[in-house]
Amino acid sequence: MQILVTHRRRNPWLWFGPVPRISSVDTIEKALAQDGFILAREHPSLARTLNRRWRAGHLQRLHPGVFADPAQVSPRLRLRALCRWAPQAVFHDATAVSLWLDQEPRTPLQLAHPSSLCAPATVRLTHRRIAAEHIHRTHGLTLASPSYAGAEVAAHDDGQAAMHLLRKGMVSIDALYEAATALTATRGHPERMRVLRSLAANPWSPAERRLHALLSGVSGWVANRRLRLDGPTVIPDVLFEASRLVVEVDGYQVHGGLAAFQRDRDRQNLLVGHGYPVLRLTWQDLADRPEYCLSLIRQTDRVWNLHADAIDVVD
């Protein structure tokens, strides 16, 4: 009796040995390396392991169910983890302003969410739906736009944030007004609109805003108009276009130090050298003798207008 033996060709792609297992620790380490944190709800099979490693001190809990390597925790990581923990949430108000200005936000963090949410103790939650056009997503963060945040905080910061954002060129007066229309039903809206109306001339500081208020009955001037003077760009606080008169005002704190002193003189010399007379006022001038300041500005503007007319006649 003959036995026919056949040899099957082994498929090289098949593995008949034990299947390699990826440990839960490896999965955790991979997630930490990729995002800096790991959410238990995204890895339900690892929930017990995550809690065990947290209790053992190998992980730090940033928010409920959110863990990170203690050595890698930073304020920005906490913010990104919070956005991942609550995907529909938006940083707004002073928190959004701080983030736009590259400052570390203070706690409690201000978060808006379209529905009820059991937020961590470090978060102040506002039940609000912010329209998509006022939301920005950047570097793992979801936050209100600069114009929305600047208009929002104007209700309680007297326009400080809005002026800072204006000075950095991140918002415009029109954008602030447009954002304010989305905040009509929020607390402090009448005060918000009063403050925004006081910023209509584009002041970049409280001192400039006071100067603008003083000049509210005077025509022919613009605020923070960029002047290119043979290369350098100078931005006067106030410029009377017809007479070329520049009015500069120093705020609460005068910039000290030799370097700042020299920059101010170089700036003023550059303006005068290009035919722009300069008046310098202080916060004290505007606060204690506004009538004198207004009279001085009017008189100087009148003189230099006559000077400009005389030049035109000679030409």
How confident is the model at residue 11, as a pLDDT? 54
Q: How confident is the model at residue 313 (pLDDT cuts 50, 70, 90)?
A: very low
How confident is the model at residue 262, as a pLDDT? 84
Could you read off the pLDDT of 4-50 as tens digits, one per residue? 555 555 555 444 455 445 578 888 999 999 999 999 999 999 999 99
How confident is the model at residue 62, as a pLDDT? 93
Of the given ranges (10-24, 55-69, 148-162, 218-232), which has the lowest mean pLDDT? Answer: 10-24
How confident is the model at residue 117, as a pLDDT? 82
Is domain 206-314 in CATH 3.40.960.10, yes or no? Answer: yes
As a whole-number percent, the residues of the chain with pLDDT over 90 amount to: 77
Q: How confident is the model at residue 306 (pLDDT cuts 50, 70, 90)?
A: confident
pTM of the model: 0.81
Strand order in the sheet with 123-127: 123-127, 109-113, 90-91, 141-144, 135-138
Give CATH 3.40.960.10 domain extents, the chain. 206-314
Segment holding 279, helix H or strand E: strand 278-282
What are the residues whose beta carbons fall under 8 Å from the beta carbon of 194, sequence distance 6 or more? Answer: none
The single residue listed with the structure tokens 């929305």 is 148
Mean local confidence (pLDDT), 130-147 = 96
How confident is the model at residue 177, as a pLDDT? 96
**End-to-end distance of the chain based on CA atoms, in angstroms?**
129
Bigger pLDDT: 259 vs 113: 113
The single residue listed with the structure tokens 């009015």 is 247
- Which residue intervals of the chain are DSSP H helices? 24-35, 47-55, 75-85, 93-100, 146-157, 160-167, 173-181, 189-198, 206-214, 258-273, 283-288, 290-314
Q: What is the mean pLDDT of the chain?
A: 89
Bigger pLDDT: 196 vs 18: 196
Mean local confidence (pLDDT), 161-184 = 95
Whole-angstrom distance, CA of residue 240 vs CA of residue 312: 17
Q: How confident is the model at residue 85 (pLDDT cuts 50, 70, 90)?
A: very high
Whole-angstrom distance, CA of residue 36 vs CA of residue 76: 11
Could you read off the pLDDT of 241-299 as tens digits, one per residue? 999 999 999 865 555 567 777 888 888 999 999 999 999 999 999 999 999 999 999 99
Q: How confident is the model at residue 310 (pLDDT cuts 50, 70, 90)?
A: low
How confident is the model at residue 77, as a pLDDT? 95
